[in-house]
Amino acid sequence: GKYKKEEGFSLLKRSTTPTTVYKKQKLDRDDVIDADFDVIAMMKKEMDGMLDEELARAYLFGDGRMTSDDDKISEEHIRPVINDNDFFVIRWSVGGATPAEKAKNFINSAIRARKNYKGSGRPTLFTTEDWLTEMLLLEDTIGHTLYKSEAELCTKMRVEKIYTVPVMEDLKDKANASVIGVILNLNDYNVGADKGGAVSMFDDFDIDYNKQKYLIETRCSGALIKPYSAITIELKSTEAAG
């Protein structure tokens, strides 16, 4: 009907503006002087890596902070895949009486969901180490391992690669559903920045506390740009509660 048509066009034409994402760090100046290596260079490298990790988490799952937190990354500017509109995300729920049954249903759901998948090429699966282990431990009725390697499991699930992500442990989406898998091709997630939004590093010295302070920040936005370009696998509410 007209309602669906109008909603679809509005979502396709949605605008996602940048927001500032940063990481702060401070060191006692005495520790900097006493160190027998270049602690500043090491710390700047660590901050750069942590900023990348923070952004990657925000793109896929959100930053995990409460909405009331001053450091919360706005989900209107960087839209987490798991919380995006159903126009962009295909959601499947799995259950089972045992971990093995749930793992088998996980695989089946990932395959069946591909019917509606409209993303680019072969996607990537993000899940936890526990769920990957359960899938690799699946056996047939006479005890033979079904998948001898991650590569065989990837072929079965029609994904290019499987990455295990620690922050997905006990991950909940905006509907409080337990998300155990996210499937997408990252080419379908667009990251943009205004002029001047490049990663910048700043430093300052706090005389009162004898602290050397550092700030690394960027200003960017992010969102899925293709309808039905991501799949989330969730535990049924009764399974998550149990």
- Tell me the per-residue pLDDT of 179-199, one tens digit each, with 9 for 90 and over: 999 999 999 999 987 766 678
**Is the pLDDT assigned to residue 209 strictly greater than 90?**
no
Query: Order of strands, edge to edge, in the sheet holding 161-164?
Result: 89-94, 230-235, 178-184, 124-127, 161-164
Q: Which of 39-53, 89-103, 138-152 has the lowest mean pLDDT?
A: 39-53
Distance between CA atoms of residues 182 and 81, nearest Å: 8
Percentage of residues in the chain with pLDDT exceeding 90? 59
Instruction: State the pLDDT confidence band at 1, using cuts at 50, 70 and 90.
Output: very low
Integer Cα distance of 10 and 128 in angstroms: 34
8 Å CB contact between 61 and 167: yes
Give the pTM: 0.83
Q: Is the pLDDT of residue 239 over 70?
A: no
Query: Tens digits of per-residue pLDDT, 64-119?
Result: 888 888 889 999 999 999 999 999 999 999 999 999 999 999 999 999 999 999 99
- Specify whether the CB–CB gap between 7 and 87 falls below 8 A: yes
Q: How confident is the model at residue 8 (pLDDT cuts 50, 70, 90)?
A: low
Q: Which two tokens stand for residue 74?
A: 């706005």
Q: Residue 6 pLDDT > 70, yes or no?
A: no
